[in-house]
Chains A and B, each alone.
Chain A
């Protein structure tokens, strides 16, 4: 090889991946089963050293890594946190991952971080703000990012642009790609009483660089209507698998992640979810 700095993994494969949890380290290194790549939360690897960084170095030698940020607050009213952006730039710099993604949401206000993905209204003003922030991020980290569609529990009276159009326009203006979370579509469509398949049909699937599949909790609103909550704490439900199949048939094979962040199960349970994605991926050309 003549390239002085070879990139071992330039892209995520159109295969199953899982959200990496340290308790699975030994099992993943021994036999990852159908899992061909791993996703980490950027913020958990922004310490200076120790076991988290050491494990990540090991994993990155063997697996393509997706870095998924949860703290950038791209939808925030305030300017992006320059310190945090610098930390992100540093992580992406030494790790050189196959992919980097963040959320269409905000989590920081008045320099306080709320540790949740908070919703934003879809207006011309918020569109311009999100695009400016994504321009700034892509510039700072020197790579294209993916932006994920959110789970929503309520609507803003001031919203004027459908979410699919909003995301497509962001991608068009900034050149970013999209992360398509099928469970989020199901959760939001149930909560907003809209049709999830119309959402998939309206979504620019050709811009999708990664798919998320996760579990949700069920609750009710004040009027007894179903209120689904994105919890990443259980198996993916059947209707979401059906939507996933539809998405693959329509948009082709994509890197597909099982997201399980709370009440994390034993490795075989997680691997079985990945195997389910694997079986559906096998139905479409790689």
Chain B
């Protein structure tokens, strides 16, 4: 190979990545084929790898969104999203945190108002899947406490628990798209509870007041205060049903008495 007369142009990684994300940018000067000609299509391999792999990561993260809008539309949405929000960490299993907010502001999909909350639920599922393990308290532990002590106690919930409160039937939309034979979603909003008994997260629509109750527990309120919040939010709050869901979901990690840490 002959040595070039002038110093070879150096390609900064900023120039490289700008040209990767924006196919309208020229291929950076200084990238060559074996004959010393401009790299052309060879550079497109990187453009393609990045776009395809990030689109795939988003499709893995948001299968219900993909189903709701269709594969082709999802690819187009992912293409816009990944250029606006490239991953900010190499942990691809958590890529797409900005998707709900992105969908909220995405004009072409504004008529599908439930999409952002469905995306929130899909993020909650992934977080639950990778969350730390916790041994749940035995089912009889709550009953074992005298009522006054239970009211003053704080339930520490499992790291894998997530709550998505929505004015859309978000849990039912998820099941309708992902579970064979699931009924059509109702018209009302839902508070979706994600728990992980064992390794597989499950999604359940909470009964009325359940969202207020669990939100209060997550905020560190005492059992009694959470009960007040739920009873204040709805009439006839079914505490037994909600506790049953938490226990069945292995979601109560400990019962803490005494002043908050």
Chain B residue at minimum C-beta to C-beta distance from A193: B34
Chain B residue contacts of A155, Cβ below 8 A:
31-34, 39
- Cα distance A70–B87 when bound, in Å? 14
CB distance from B240 to the nearest CB of A (A): 29
Interface-forming stretch among A4-12, A103-111, A165-173, A206-214?
Answer: A103-111
Q: Which of A49, A72, A111, A194 contacts B132 (CB 8 A)?
A: A49
- Cα distance A155–B35 when bound, in Å? 10
Q: Which secondary structure characterizes the binding site on chain B?
A: loop
Chain A residue at minimum C-beta to C-beta distance from B3: A160
Given A54-B199, A115-B54, A153-B46, the answer on whether A223 and B33 have CB atoms closer than 8 Å is: yes
CB distance from A286 to the nearest CB of B (A): 36
Chain B residue contacts of A49, Cβ below 8 A:
130-133, 159-160
Q: Is B42 a contact of A227 with CB atoms below 8 Å?
A: yes
Chain B residue at minimum C-beta to C-beta distance from A42: B90
Contact with B along A104-141 (1 / 0, CB 8 A): 00111111111110110100000000000000000000
A residues 23-61 in Cβ contact with B at 8 Å: 43-44, 46-54
- Cα distance A53–B131 when bound, in Å? 10
Given A50-B133, A76-B13, the answer on whether A115 and B31 have CB atoms closer than 8 Å is: no
Q: Which of A108, A119, A219, A229 contacts B90 (CB 8 A)?
A: A108
Chain B residue contacts of A250, Cβ below 8 A:
none
Q: Is A84 a contact of B90 with CB atoms below 8 Å?
A: yes
Q: Which of A47, A110, A157, A225 contacts B17 (CB 8 A)?
A: A110
Chain B residue contacts of A219, Cβ below 8 A:
41, 45
Does any Cβ of A come within 8 Å of B49's Cβ? yes
Q: Which of B9, B17, B42, B91 contacts A112 (CB 8 A)?
A: B17
Chain A residue contacts of B17, Cβ below 8 A:
109-110, 112, 114, 118
B residues 1-41 in Cβ contact with A at 8 Å: 4, 7-14, 16-17, 20, 30-37, 39-41
Task: Kindly count the residue-residue contacts between A and B in the assembled complex, taking CB atoms under 8 Å apart.
Answer: 151
B: number of interface residues (CB 8 Å): 50
- Cα distance A98–B86 when bound, in Å? 33
Given A51-B199, A110-B14, A112-B17, the answer on whether A157 and B8 have CB atoms closer than 8 Å is: yes
Does any Cβ of B come within 8 Å of A154's Cβ? yes
Does any Cβ of B come within 8 Å of A196's Cβ? no
Does any Cβ of A come within 8 Å of B93's Cβ? yes
CB distance from A12 to the nearest CB of B (A): 24
Given A50-B160, A110-B17, A157-B4, the answer on whether A116 and B130 have CB atoms closer than 8 Å is: no
Chain B residue at minimum C-beta to C-beta distance from A119: B46
Chain B residue contacts of A195, Cβ below 8 A:
none
- Cα distance A156–B9 when bound, in Å? 9
Given A44-B93, A221-B41, A223-B37, the answer on whether A112 and B88 have CB atoms closer than 8 Å is: yes
Q: Is B129 a contact of A51 with CB atoms below 8 Å?
A: yes
Q: Is A111 a contact of B88 with CB atoms below 8 Å?
A: yes
Contact with A along B219-237 (1 / 0, CB 8 A): 0000000000000000000
Chain B residue contacts of A225, Cβ below 8 A:
33-34
Chain A residue at minimum C-beta to C-beta distance from B32: A155
Does any Cβ of B come within 8 Å of A158's Cβ? yes
Chain B residue at minimum C-beta to C-beta distance from A262: B56
- Cα distance A200–B42 when bound, in Å? 24
Q: Is A77 a contact of B46 with CB atoms below 8 Å?
A: no
- Cα distance A156–B129 when bound, in Å? 42
Q: Is B196 a contact of A50 with CB atoms below 8 Å?
A: yes
Does any Cβ of A come within 8 Å of B57's Cβ? yes
Q: Is B93 a contact of A47 with CB atoms below 8 Å?
A: yes
Does any Cβ of B come within 8 Å of A184's Cβ? no
Chain A residue contacts of B91, Cβ below 8 A:
43, 46-47, 71, 87
Given A112-B17, A115-B53, the answer on whether A158 and B93 have CB atoms closer than 8 Å is: no
22 contacts between A and B (CB under 8 A): A48-B131, A49-B159, A50-B130, A73-B90, A77-B13, A84-B90, A113-B88, A115-B50, A115-B92, A153-B39, A154-B42, A156-B30, A156-B31, A156-B32, A157-B30, A157-B31, A158-B10, A158-B11, A158-B30, A191-B42, A219-B41, A221-B33
* Top 8 A-B pairs, shortest CB-CB distance: A71-B90, A47-B130, A157-B8, A51-B199, A48-B132, A112-B86, A154-B39, A193-B34
A49-B131, A50-B160, A156-B30 known; 10 new pairs, CB 8 Å cut-off, are A47-B129, A53-B133, A54-B199, A109-B17, A113-B87, A153-B45, A153-B46, A154-B39, A191-B34, A194-B34
